[in-house]
Amino acid sequence: MDKFYLTTAIDYVNGAPHIGHAYEKILTDIIARHYSQRCDNVFFLTGTDEHGIKIQKTAAEKGITPKELCDENAQKFKDAWKALDIDYNRFIRTTDEDHVKTVQKIFKKLVENGDIYKHSYQGLYCSGCECFLNEKDLTEDGLCPDHLKKPELVTEENYFFRLTKYKDAIIKHIKENPDFIIPEFRANEVLNQLEDIQDISVSRAKSNVQWGIDVLDDDEQSIYVWIDALSNYITAIGYDTENPSEQYKKLWPANVQVIGKDILKFHSIYWPAILMALDLPLPKHILAHGWITIDQSKMSKSIGNVIAPTDVLKNFNLEYPDAFRYYMATSAPCGRDGNYSDDDFKEKVNAHLANSMGNLLNRTLSMLVKYFDGEVKSEFKVNNEILKIAKNKIDIVKNHFDNFEIAEAGQEITNLVDITNKYVTDNAPWTLAKEEKMTECGQILTTVLEVMCIVSALIYPYCPNIAKDMAKQLSFDLSIKLDDLTADNIKTGKLISKEEIHPVFLRLDSELADKSSKK
């Protein structure tokens, strides 16, 4: 694998980030970190979508400029991702100068190619969706089904993109590439939407929307969200209609584009059509994740259950975000909806990270110090049967990641820890020590420590800080590629002293877990 390029949706900066935004970024960061263990050239793109009528209106209400609002809120997203250890390569803003100039060139090229044309139009416009809706898409009361607001009847002369021109090609691509849309069950939903697809508006009259990218050669029109926002995936890596950069040539097409299921239509229909019109290859995979509910209820400002991800860290007094990352990433099977609750969060991370994984490492190292003064002796041969299971788990986890089954991969790592805990219980090294069977005791401890090296490598994408702490206590090189991971990581000689042993994850106690004042 010579490269791995992955993207998230760019978040609209009309507000602050919430736990749903965090879920997507955590998933993508975990995928990026996993593939960095298999590939040297990983590029992870995220960012913010900063144009449109909602930004314009909100800024006016606050008495500031749209750019000032964007600057303020884009920083909130950057700060949140820093707190969650989201290690992206670029954070693109659609107000970035290189993006603006390239979008104008893309728009002009599509006009010149005949893929964009001007047309007078009357339609039902939802400012929340930033798109025109058909009457059949509305609720029985004539409301937008997502925002439950009545769309506005808008009459404008706009530029339209010939989406219908690419309908058959998109259908063919989806049918011939069953893994283009992940999970696969979403493909039928997209094919149904394609049946009555229409050309789409790609500009707005400046009389209605001033805050946008100017259409070259037409000072009465602003480029509308789809050509602007969707193009970020190629403008961010140096695409140009005339002279694309070497970085673009190396990275495109994207290996996976991670988005929420609510914007699948735009990424599996509009975006492929735009790429086809530009004669560019399509991304290999579109991963549509589900939603995160709060205590089994959909997030809503009106009922007051919108949670900021950083508030969870504060609420549980977490120095590092690893527990939250692990919980969110394993909250739902691939493409399905997940749920967050304080009680479940506390119970799950205590069970998996503290009681199971953390305690296994801590008690094994403690026994090594107690019985052997922290030294691994040459006669301590590992149990090949257990190591075979552990090495097989590496392949299983890799296979899950190849199918973007992040929760499922996490479950396999937890399963490996459970198997190893059972191995310790079944073989009782403390009993062997009492019976003065020291070689057998040492062999069990060394076997467990070898497995824990593998566990630290596999859990690293989910819990980078915990994994680094584990690796440090094991004197294990965490930078090793997964394909080079062997069963010879624990070296003979002094491994650790009593003073160097500490828990890699402390249990969340009930007093801390019950705090709710900062929610």
**Mind telling me the catalytic residues?**
18, 21, 126, 129, 144, 147, 298, 301
Question: How far apart are alpha carbons 280 and 300 in whole angstroms?
Answer: 39
SS (H, E, C) 462-476: CCHHHHHHHHHHHCC
Question: How far apart are alpha carbons 295 and 237 in whole angstroms?
Answer: 39
Q: How many CB atoms lie within 10 A of CB 385?
A: 9
Q: Are 474 and 456 in contact (CB under 8 A)?
A: yes
Question: How far apart are alpha carbons 396 and 414 in whole angstroms?
Answer: 13
Residue 490 token pair: 């624990």
Provide the CA 340 distance to its chain's centre, in angstroms: 16
Q: Are 294 and 19 in contact (CB under 8 A)?
A: yes
Question: How far apart are alpha carbons 150 and 438 in whole angstroms?
Answer: 76
Phi, psi for 260 (deg, rounded to 5): -80, 150
Dihedral sign for Cα 128, 134, 137, 142, please: positive
Question: β-pairing, 286-289 with 11-12?
Answer: unpaired
Residue 176 token pair: 């011939």
Give the position of tokens 């298999």.
38
Question: How far apart are alpha carbons 389 and 420 in whole angstroms?
Answer: 10
Provide the CA 243 distance to its chain's centre, in angstroms: 31
Question: How far apart are alpha carbons 366 and 359 in whole angstroms?
Answer: 10
Dihedral sign for Cα 77, 78, 82, 83, please: negative
Q: What DSSP string runs through 90-128? A: EEEETTSHHHHHHHHHHHHHHHHTTSEEEEEEEEEEETT
Q: Are 9 and 23 in contact (CB under 8 A)?
A: no
Residue 237 token pair: 């890596």
